[in-house]
A and B are shown apart, each in its own frame.
Chain A
Amino acid sequence: DTGVSQDPRHKITKRGQNVTFRCDPISEHNRLYWYRQTLGQGPEFLTYFQNEAQLEKSRLLSDRFSAERPKGSFSTLEIQRTEQGDSAMYLCASPGPSQGVEQYFGPGTRLTVT
């Protein structure tokens, strides 16, 4: 257990529906990252928060995606008008206990769009 939790673990939705995922990072860590992983690929960066500020967004993050981190604590990732290509594992990560460069990942949310 890395201390990073994600909810839900699995989500099945129909194309066109909106979905929201939640990440609770290791407490008191100001950095939080979202990644997406498709089958046979390594995780790909989506977006990064320092406290409540969203400092960087990948080109993978289309305008249907939005992420927030109110009060610099938990974070949410919302996908609007889901498409089948959005089916993937969505991973959240935060630094480890030493606040070093290592990133510790949560269990992920598996999204299936039918």
Chain B
Amino acid sequence: EDQVTQSPEALRLQEGESSSLNCSYTVSGLRGLFWYRQDPGKGPEFLFTLYSAGEEKEKERLKATLTKKESFLHITAPKPEDSATYLCAVDSQAGTALIFGKGTTLSVSS
């Protein structure tokens, strides 16, 4: 069964304190791994797609990487506006829809 597990569930950082969020997955044929940002009361906002092991994508203070079993979202020198829930999802060859993890809630204080 396709599955996505994210850790930690919650992460508190000081402004400027870099860290990483983890997404472990088991899937029968990965078509893509996705990272989304979700603010309270809003729909998920698309950030990155990764297709194969070794691939990396960057956007501002965020960098996503992918291995055969997990993905990391690295946050460099975060700011309070980076506070949100970050969701990881996979698209497998066996299914139609995205399978999401429960997310990591990031809080960045100044």
Interface, chain A (partner B; CB < 8 A)? 2, 4, 6, 33, 35, 40-45, 48, 55-56, 58, 91, 96, 100-108, 110
Which one of B12-20, B59-67, B73-81, B100-108 contacts A? B100-108
New contact pairs (13) apart from A58-B97, A107-B42, CB-CB < 8 Å: A6-B43, A33-B97, A41-B102, A44-B100, A45-B97, A45-B98, A55-B96, A56-B96, A56-B97, A100-B49, A102-B49, A103-B34, A105-B43
Closest-by-CB residue of A relative to B32 is A101
23 inter-chain pairs at a CB distance below 8 angstroms, sorted by A residue, are A2-B43, A33-B98, A35-B97, A40-B102, A42-B101, A43-B44, A43-B87, A43-B89, A43-B98, A43-B100, A44-B100, A45-B96, A55-B96, A56-B97, A91-B43, A96-B46, A100-B49, A101-B31, A101-B49, A105-B36, A105-B44, A107-B43, A110-B41
| Dominant secondary structure of chain B at its interface with chain A | strand
| Least Cβ–Cβ distance between A5 and chain B, in angstroms | 10
B interface list, Cβ under 8 A from A: 4, 31-32, 34, 36, 41-46, 49, 87, 89, 91, 96-103
When chains A and B are docked, how far (Å) is the Cα of A107 from the Cα of B102?
18
- A41-B102, A42-B103 known; A101 and B43 CB under 8 Å? no
A4 to B43, CA, bound (A): 10
A33-B97, A42-B89, A45-B97 as given contacts; A104 in contact with B102, CB under 8 Å = no
